[in-house]
Structure 1
C-alpha cells in the first residue's frame, strides 16, 4: 500500500517497537523501514499491532489515525479470507451476503486501500486552512474546514 511515505516517524517507531523490537538494534530503524517497503508491509500485517492498538485506549492517542485504519483494514482483509460472506445490517435484520472475495479484492487494491484509509482518517481529525483573499485594498481572512 506504499505506507512508508504516509506514516510519521512516530508511527514507524511504534510499529518497529511492537513487531520488531526496534529491528534488532539497527542503527536507523526508521530509514530501514522506509527503504524496505516489503518489510513494512509484513510488519503492518502482524497481529501484535492489532492487539496493541485495540488492547489499550491510550495507545490510540499516541499514533496517527492513518496507522490505526491501515492496520485495521489489513486485518479486515485477512479476516475475509476466513469466511465467504459479509454481514449487511438493516433496521429489521442482519443478512449474510456471500461477497467476501469481491470485498477483499476491492480493499486490496492499493489506490482503494489508500482512499479508504484517507477517508476514515478524515473523520477523526479535521484540517482548517486559512487563505488570505484580497478585496480591493484590503485583505480578508477566509477559513475552510475539511469537515
Structure 2
C-alpha cells in the first residue's frame, strides 16, 4: 500500500514532456514554464498572432492561423529569462506530411509548396500518379507557412523523431 502512495506522489511532482511548440528561441520546456509569468506580452507582440495561451496559460504556437516570420518581437518584449538570445536557430522543429495528404487520394494539390518560401517542399513525379510532396528537412525552417493553406490539415510541425 505504501508503494502505491509513493508512486502517486512521484507522479504528482514529475513533469510530463510537453508536445506543444513554444515561441522561437525558447529555452527547454521546463525552463520556459518555470520562469514564464504568463503576462501575455509575447502574445500581444507577435506580428502574425500565432502565439496563443495554451494549457496552464503558457504561450504556445498555433500554425493554423499563420506562420512565424522570426521577427523576434516575442523575444525582445519578454522580461523573463525564458528565451535563449544566443541560440542561432529559432528552434529544431520541421514540417512533416501526414497520411491524409490529398495526393494520397489522387488529388493534385501543391498548396504547401506554393506557401514555402525556403523551397523546402518539392513534389516527386511518378508515371500514372499525382506528384507526392517531399520535405527537405535541412531547408525547412519550421516557420509553419505550409500549415494553414493545406486543405486537408495534412502538415504537422514538430520535432524530428
- More helix by proportion, 1 or 2? 1
Higher relative contact order (CA 8 A, sep 6+): 2
Could you tell me the TM-score, scaled by structure 2's length? 0.27
